[in-house]
Structure 1
C-alpha cells in the first residue's frame, strides 16, 4: 500500500477500530498466557466523554495494549454504572415533557421507562470511548444492573447483615429535598453564599438573665435541644445544668458542657439542634440524647413539620424552610430575642444534580460498619500488599480509613438495586436473597419489600470481582482476580477505591488489585479547574475531530506526571499531531527508498557505524521504555519514545543514511594539510565499489526497516491508529500490529565504538550549525574547516565521516591543521578545536557589535528580573503564575546572554 502524501487521522481511526473489534483483537484467545487484568472505572450510563474520562481511559489503554503486545492474556473489563440519581433525573425529565410524573406512573411502569431509555440512549459514552481507541473487551460489556451483578449485590447485602456488619439506624444524612433522598458526600457541592449571622438571646428558665447564641440558620431553633458551653469557660460554669426557655416554642432545654463550644468564637455558647446539624448530632449523643429522641422539624421536602412535643406554632407547620426562616426571625424580633444581625459569607452545601441546598436530616437508613471493613484495607497498604502510586496518597488513605464513619447505603429512589429486606405488619425486618426466603422467615405472614434502593457506590464497590462472575466460582474469576492495576482519579479515592478494597478483601479474602494508580485532574492551560460556568471546559471529541485521537492520547500521556494535575493547552495537542505527521512522512521516505517492514524479530547484522548506532539507540530506548512503563511513569515513557522517533530516527538517522540510499556515491574528500590516511590508515579502495555500495544499501534498508518496525510497536500503546496503518503500509503482515510482539532489549546489538563515533559526528555537526546560525552565516555558504589538536581517533573519524560531515555542516573542505588567521568561528568538541574562517563571508565588525549589544541587553534584563525575584514583597504578594513567569523569563534571558557571549567568543 502506497502511503498517502497527507496524514488524515479520521478515516484511519474509524476503519481500524471497526476492524479490531470485529476480529476480536481486543480479547485474543490466550488461555495459557500470563493474565493481565484491569477494570475500567464504570462511567455513568447517562454520561458523555469528558476530558477526565479521556485521561483515565488513555492511561488504562496504554497498559492494556502494552500487556497484549507482551503476549499476556490481557482482559480489560468495561461497563457502565446505573447511576441511580442521575439516571432517575434524566428519565423523570423525559416523562415530565409528556406531562407525567413518576408517582403517577407508579414504580413498575417508571422502571420500564428507565430500561427503555437505557436501550435507546445509554450507549453514548461507550461509543465515545471507541473514538478514543479504548481496546476494551466489548464482547463481555458489564452493567451494574445486569442480573448476575444484581445477584452479587444482594449476596453482599445479606452476608454483611448476617455478619452484623450492616444494620438499620437513625442518623443524620445529607438530604436532597428535591429528589427526597439521602445522597453521598460526593454528590454535595459546597459553595460560598452571602448570608447572615443572627445573634439570639435565650432567657434562662429561672428568670435570672439570658444567654446569647449565634446561628446562620435561625429557623432550626424550633428544634433546639440544648445550649453547649465549653467546660473550661469560667463565664458559664455556674450556668451548666440550668435550663433555658426557648422563644416561640417555650421548650425548656438544658445548658450542657461540651468541648465543641469554642470560648473564642462568638459568645462561646452554641445552640444544639442534633436533628439538623452533623456536629450537633454528635454533641447530642454525648449529652445522652438517643437519636430516636432527637427532634425533627422538617419533612422530606424541607417543609416545617410538627415536632414530637407539638410545640411548633400551627402557622409555621407546612411552611418551606426558607420562608420559615423569615417568619421565625420576625417572631424572635417581636419577642425581643433578636440581638443583632451580621452579614457573613457562608459555606453552603448544594446537591450537585438538583441544585438545591442540602439539609442535614434525621432519618432511618441502612448502614455498613465501615470501621470494621476498613481494617484489612489499611493493613494491605501499610504492608505493601497494595502498591499506591504515587506514594504521597498513602497518608490520605490512612487518615480517611482510620477516621471512617458508618456508611449510609440506602437511597430513597426507584432506580437501583432494591434493598433485599421485607417487613411484616409489626415492622419486623427479614433480610433475604429472595422474597420466598423472606416469606419463610416471616412464617407466611404478609410482607412488603423495603422501597429504598442501594447507594450506587455500594454496587460499584463490587466491580473488581462482580464483573468476573462472583458469587459463582467462574474460571474467569479464578484467573483474573485480583486485578493487576486500578487507574483512578484521586477524587474518588474514598468513595470508590477504598470501598473496593474493603469489599474485595472481605469477600474474596484478597486485595482487589495489586497496584492503585491515582492520577491528577485535567485543568485548563492556566491551571484553573474546568467548569461550564467558567467557559474553560475542553471537549475531547472536538480535539479528536481536529487533531486525531492519537495526538490527544499522546498529549495526555506525555503530561501525566505522577501526583500532578495536567494543564492542558491545545497547542500541545497540535504539537503531537505534528509528531504524528513527522512519523508519517518518515515512513513515506522509507517506503520511497525501498525500506519496508522487517522480516525478523532479531536485529539485522550491521557493519556500518551509522547502522550500529541506530540499533544501539533502539535497544536503549526499549530498555528505558520498559523501566518507565513498569514504574507507571507515563510522561517519561512518552518522552522517551518521542525523542527517539523525532530526534534520533527522523532528524539524524534518516539524514545520515541518505548518501547510502542515493543512486551514486557522494564525491568529496579531506584536502590540505596532512593527509588523513597518514594519521589513521583508511581501508584500501574496494576493487568493486558498486557491489560494496549495493551491500551497504541492502544492510541499511534492513536496519532501517527493522528500527521502523520497533518504533511502530513501541509507539502503538500511545498512538494505536497511525502505527497500525503504517505497519500494514510498509509490508504484507501475518497479523495486525495490535497482536505483534513487544521487542526485547538485546544488548548484543550495542557497539560502543560505533555509537561513540556517530554521537561525536552529531555533536560536531550541531556545534558547527549552531555557530553558523548564531553568526548569521548565509545558509548556502560552504566553508572550509580547520582542525587542530585532533587525536588519532578524531582524525580517523574525520576520514570515515568526511562526506557526511561535509554535507550536513556545508563544508567545502576539511584540513587537519590549525587556522592561523583571524575572524574565525571556533568550536571545541572533545580534545579538538574546529575553526571556520569567516573573513569575506560575514561583516565581522558588525557581527561583533551585534552580539555584544545583544548580550549586554539580555544580561541587563536578566539582572532586572533577578532583582525582582529577590524582592520578598514581589515573591510573597504576586500571583503564583506571575512569579513563575518571572522565573521563566529570568532563565531565558540568562541563557540568551550566555549564548551570545559564547558566540562572540567564537569570533576570537
Structure 2
C-alpha cells in the first residue's frame, strides 16, 4: 500500500471496474429490494442536495446488495420542460436564431441533439459520487417507452372523466408565457408599498378605504369584502360602491376570510388576479374579469386609457390618476412576499386561463387511505401530518404547460371546438368516425413535467405491459426524498400508482432535510454560498472557485461582494477531500431535522478518518503479510483479553449499525462506526496488540491469535463500512481479504456482517474498560504535570477491591507498556502516601509519586507565565467583541470566529488555573 491515502488514485479506477463488471445489476436472490431514483433534471449538475440524497440511497442499495437481496437502483433523468427549453433557446439566440424561426419540429430536434451531446453531466457526476446505479437500465422521461406510458395514462384518465379542460387561476410566467407549478415560484420578502384608496359609496357622500399592494389590479375588481363581524362595516354589507376609473359599480360583501386587522379591514376583490380572491369569487358568484394578457400587459377588458400598458407602468398611471381625483388616502412602506419564477426571475401573475386539469380530489381518497392503513410509511412519521394536510385540502392539478419541449397533449380540436383525445390523429378519426373533410388540429401544449414523474416507479419497469421487472421490483422498497416535494411528487406518485397499478409505488418514504450552509442559510448563487460536491471531492483553486460563484451574475456589485466573501472564506481555494470523506460527512448529518447544516470542518475531520483507516490497515498488513494469521483453524490459538474485547466490540458495533440502517438513522450508524474504528480498533486495540506482537517470548498460539484477530476484525469492519465509504474499503479489502480467509472479486458482493447479542463478551468489555481507565488516568497526570511521555513512572494503588487487584495482576504487562510504567505497587492500609498526583478508577485510587519528576516552583512559574499570556489575550478579545463598531460592521463569519476564539481561550485559562492549583497543593 502507498504510504499515504490518495483517493484520486483509486476512485475512478474502482468505479470503472465495478461498472464494467456489471456489479450494479440485480444479482438474483429470493427477496427484492428496489429504489427508483428521484430523476434529476437532464440540464442539471450535481449540487449538495443531490450529493446528500444520492449518498443515502447508495448506502441503502449497497447494504441490501451485501445482504443478498435482489437489488435494483433504477436510474434515469427528467426532461425538465422549462429548464431544457430555456437552455436551448438561449443557444439559438446566441447564434442569431429562435425557436419560432426554426418551427416546432426542428426545435424539438435541436433539443434532442443537445440532450445527446450535453445531457449527461449529472450522470457522470453521479459516478464520481460512487453511486452504484444500474446504468444498463437508464431511462429518460421522454424516451419511447415512458412517452407511451404517459400518453396511455392521459387517455385513460380523460375517458374516466378525471382529466378535463377548464378555466381556472394559475401561476403565469409573463416571460416564459406558460403556467408553472407552485414549486417553481420563489416567494421572498421584498420592500414594497401599501396604497390606501377611497371607493365612493353609491347614493351617498361617504366612501370605504381599501388597501392594496397591487393598485393596477383594481381595474378588475368585482367586489369589496369585509368581515361579517366587523362592526365598522356591518351596515355597508350589500351596498354598492363606485369602482374608480372604470365606471362600474361593485358590491360590498361579507366573508370570514377577511382579516379585520390588515390595512383598513376592507379589501378589494379581484377574482381573476389573486388566488384567495378567486376562491372568494366562487363562493359569492362574482364576475371574473381578466385585465392582463400573456405578457402581463393591460388588455381590452380594462378602460381604454390603460390598454397596452405594462402592468407596472399601469400601476404608476392608476396611482397618479386616483391621486388626481382625490381618491388616494395614503401610501405606507410595506414588506411583502413577491412571487418570482425560479427560472425567469420575473414577478409571477395569478392569471385566469384555459388549461388541462386532473380531478385530484377523486384520486386523493385512496392515497390518503394508503398512508392511514400503513401501506405507505413515512420516516420520520411526523411527515405524515404534512402529507395529510395537503391531501385533504387538495385542489385540481393543472397539468398543461405552454411549451414545445415535453409530452404533447394527445388531444385534437375540430373547427367547432370539439375535443377528441387519442394516441394519434388516425386513432381519433377511426374512434370517432371522422372523415377526411373534418379538419383537426392538435393541442399545442405539453404536459407538466411532474405528470410523467408521477408515473416513475411503474413506467420505468415497462408498464403498460405486465413485465417481469414489474413483478420483481414493484412496489419499490423505499423512496428517498426531501420534504419540499412531498406534495408535488410523492403524493402524486401514490395517487397515480394506486389508480393504475392498484398497489402503492413504495412501502416507505424516507424524508430528509435540506442541505444548507454552516449558518443555516439556503445555498444559492445570489448568496455566494454554493458548494459543489465535485469541488469538495477533487479540490479547486481560489480563482476557479471565484469564477464559478460569480459567473452569470448580472449585478457587478453583487459579484464583487461574493468574490470578497469567497476570498475570505477560502483564501487557498478548497482542498481535495475525496468521495469517501464527503459521503461520510453526509451520513453524519443525516438526522431527523428539517435543515442540514454543512460545515466544511466536518469533511476535514472525515478526511482525517480516511487517513486513520489507511494507516491502520498498513500497520495490520505489515504485521500479518507472510505471517501465520490463523487461517488454518485446526491449529491452536490463544486469544488475549484485548483480542476477546475487540471481537466483542465488533459484534456490538455490527448490531448498532444494522439497527441504525433499518431505522434510517445514518448519523447513528456512522457514529457507531467512527467510534469503533478510530477510538477502539485504531487507538486502543492496535496499541494493545503490540505487547504480544513485539514480545520475543510470546507463544506461537498467542501470536497466531492476535494476528488472526487483527486481520479478521479489520476485514469485517471494512464490510460494515463499505456502504458508506465504498472506495477505500474496496482498496484495502482486496489486500486484507486473502489473509482473513476470504475470497471474491469485490467487497460489494460479500455478505454484510450480522451479529447476535450472545456473541458479546461482557467480561472482556468490563476488563478492558477498567484497563483503559487506568491508562487514561496516568496519561492525564502526565499531561497535567508536564511529564515527558517517554519517562517511566512508578504507580501506587490503594483502596481497591480484590477484583482490582486481580485485574492489576493479570494486566500488568499491558499497563507497563501502554502507560510507560516502571513498577506497580500496592500501598498498605497503614502506609503513608508520598506526595503524588492522583486519579480515581471506581473505588481504586492510583497515585504517581512526584519526587524527582517535577520542580514544583519551576512548574508553577511556567504555568503562571502561560496564564498571564492567556489573560492578556482574553482582555484583547473581550474589548474587541465589546466594540459595537466591530460587531455591527464586520462580516458575520469573522465575528463568529472571534467569539469561538474567546470561548476556547476561556476554557484553556480555566484548565491552566486548575493545574496550577493542583500543583500548589502537592
For residue 257 of structure 1, the aligned residue among 238, 254, 276 is 254
For residue 398 of structure 1, the aligned residue among 379, 388, 391 is 388
Rounded to whole Å, the distance in 1 between the matches of 2:327 and 2:647 is 87
For residue 194 of structure 2, the aligned residue among 197, 204, 207 is 197
Q: 1:411 to 1:252 in 2, by over 3 A?
A: same
Q: Shift of the alpha carbon at 1:896?
A: 5.4
For residue 622 of structure 1, the aligned residue among 643, 648, 654 is 654
Q: Deviations over 1:715-761 (max 9, x none)?
A: 10110000000111235543201111111215554333333322222
Q: 1:787 to 1:201 in 2, by over 3 A?
A: closer
Does 1:838 find its partner at 2:860?
no
For residue 708 of structure 1, the aligned residue among 697, 706, 714 is 714
Rounded to whole Å, the distance in 1 between the matches of 2:843 and 2:708 is 35
8 Å CA contact 1:851, 1:900 repeated in 2: no
Indicate the larger mover: 479-488 or 752-761. 752-761
Does 1:717 find its partner at 2:710?
no
2:837 corresponds to? 825
Q: Deviations over 1:589-635 (max 9, x none)?
A: 11111258996999996532221111111111111111111111111
- Matched ranges for 1:678-757 at <5 A: 693-732=699-738, 733-747=743-757, 749-757=759-767
TM-score where L is the length of structure 2 = 0.88
Q: Secondary structure at the match of 1:493?
A: helix
Does 1:611 find its partner at 2:643?
yes
Does 1:13 find its partner at 2:6?
no
Q: Shift of the alpha carbon at 1:825?
A: 1.6
1:299 corresponds to? 293
8 Å CA contact 2:636, 2:701 repeated in 1: no
For residue 32 of structure 2, the aligned residue among 15, 31, 35 is 35
Rounded to whole Å, the distance in 1 between the matches of 2:218 and 2:794 is 94
Rounded to whole Å, the distance in 1 between the matches of 2:178 and 2:769 is 68
Does 1:22 find its partner at 2:34?
no
Indicate the larger mover: 228-237 or 342-351. 228-237
Q: Deviations over 1:646-673 (max 9, x none)?
A: 11111111111113222624xxxxxxxx
Rounded to whole Å, the distance in 1 between the matches of 2:920 and 2:713 is 38
- Matched ranges for 1:405-554 at <5 A: 405-444=395-434, 445-545=438-538, 546-554=576-584
Q: 1:258 to 1:790 in 2, by over 3 A?
A: closer
2:682 corresponds to? 650
For residue 231 of structure 1, the aligned residue among 212, 217, 228 is 228
Q: Shift of the alpha carbon at 1:300?
A: 0.6
Q: Secondary structure at the match of 1:138?
A: strand
Q: 1:890 to 1:23 in 2, by over 3 A?
A: closer
1:388 corresponds to? 378
Q: Deviations over 1:498-522 (max 9, x none)?
A: 2112222222222211111111111
8 Å CA contact 1:193, 1:347 repeated in 2: yes
2:320 corresponds to? 330
Rounded to whole Å, the distance in 2 between the matches of 1:847 and 1:357 is 70
For residue 276 of structure 2, the aligned residue among 254, 273, 279 is 279
Q: 1:577 to 1:903 in 2, by over 3 A?
A: farther
Q: Shift of the alpha carbon at 1:848?
A: 7.0
- Matched ranges for 1:335-354 at <5 A: 335-354=325-344
Rounded to whole Å, the distance in 1 between the matches of 2:632 and 2:466 is 43
Q: Shift of the alpha carbon at 1:899?
A: 10
Q: Secondary structure at the match of 1:168?
A: strand
8 Å CA contact 1:619, 1:746 repeated in 2: yes
For residue 641 of structure 1, the aligned residue among 665, 670, 673 is 673
1:900 corresponds to? 914
8 Å CA contact 2:630, 2:637 repeated in 1: no
Indicate the larger mover: 757-766 or 892-901. 892-901
Rounded to whole Å, the distance in 1 between the matches of 2:433 and 2:799 is 104
Aligned length: 856
Rounded to whole Å, the distance in 1 between the matches of 2:502 and 2:289 is 43
- Matched ranges for 1:803-818 at <5 A: 803-818=813-828
Rounded to whole Å, the distance in 2 between the matches of 1:601 and 1:148 is 55
Rounded to whole Å, the distance in 2 between the matches of 1:452 and 1:519 is 34
8 Å CA contact 1:851, 1:904 repeated in 2: no
Rounded to whole Å, the distance in 2 between the matches of 1:102 and 1:600 is 73
Q: Shift of the alpha carbon at 1:92?
A: 0.6
- Matched ranges for 1:855-870 at <5 A: none
Q: Secondary structure at the match of 2:781?
A: helix
Q: Deviations over 1:74-111 (max 9, x none)?
A: 11011111111111110110111111111111111110
8 Å CA contact 2:693, 2:703 repeated in 1: yes
2:569 corresponds to? none
Q: 1:604 to 1:250 in 2, by over 3 A?
A: farther
Q: Shift of the alpha carbon at 1:8?
A: 0.5
8 Å CA contact 2:167, 2:352 repeated in 1: yes
8 Å CA contact 2:792, 2:821 repeated in 1: yes
1:673 corresponds to? none
Indicate the larger mover: 793-802 or 182-191. 793-802
Rounded to whole Å, the distance in 2 between the matches of 1:208 and 1:577 is 78
1:675 corresponds to? none
Indicate the larger mover: 486-495 or 130-139. 486-495
8 Å CA contact 1:520, 1:565 repeated in 2: yes
Q: 1:621 to 1:603 in 2, by over 3 A?
A: farther
Indicate the larger mover: 368-377 or 57-66. 368-377
2:555 corresponds to? none
Rounded to whole Å, the distance in 2 between the matches of 1:362 and 1:598 is 79
2:2 corresponds to? 4
8 Å CA contact 2:856, 2:919 repeated in 1: no
Rounded to whole Å, the distance in 1 between the matches of 2:331 and 2:172 is 28
Indicate the larger mover: 526-535 or 101-110. 526-535
Q: 1:787 to 1:210 in 2, by over 3 A?
A: closer
1:363 corresponds to? 353
Q: Secondary structure at the match of 2:378?
A: strand
Q: Deviations over 1:444-482 (max 9, x none)?
A: 133221111111111111111111112211111111111
8 Å CA contact 1:855, 1:901 repeated in 2: no
Q: Deviations over 1:61-80 (max 9, x none)?
A: 11100001111111101111
Rounded to whole Å, the distance in 1 between the matches of 2:663 and 2:499 is 29
Q: Secondary structure at the match of 2:10?
A: helix
Q: Shift of the alpha carbon at 1:412?
A: 0.6
Q: Secondary structure at the match of 1:812?
A: strand
Indicate the larger mover: 16-25 or 333-342. 333-342
Rounded to whole Å, the distance in 1 between the matches of 2:685 and 2:487 is 50
Rounded to whole Å, the distance in 1 between the matches of 2:636 and 2:422 is 67
Does 1:590 find its partner at 2:620?
yes
> Can you give the 5+ residue segments of structure 1 that lack an aligned partner in the other structure?
666-691, 869-877
Q: Shift of the alpha carbon at 1:894?
A: 11
Rounded to whole Å, the distance in 2 between the matches of 1:240 and 1:657 is 89
Rounded to whole Å, the distance in 2 between the matches of 1:51 and 1:77 is 21
8 Å CA contact 1:469, 1:477 repeated in 2: yes
> Can you give the 5+ residue segments of structure 2 that lack an aligned partner in the other structure?
539-575, 883-891
Q: 1:903 to 1:424 in 2, by over 3 A?
A: farther
Rounded to whole Å, the distance in 2 between the matches of 1:604 and 1:230 is 89
Rounded to whole Å, the distance in 1 between the matches of 2:151 and 2:135 is 25
Rounded to whole Å, the distance in 2 between the matches of 1:240 and 1:213 is 15
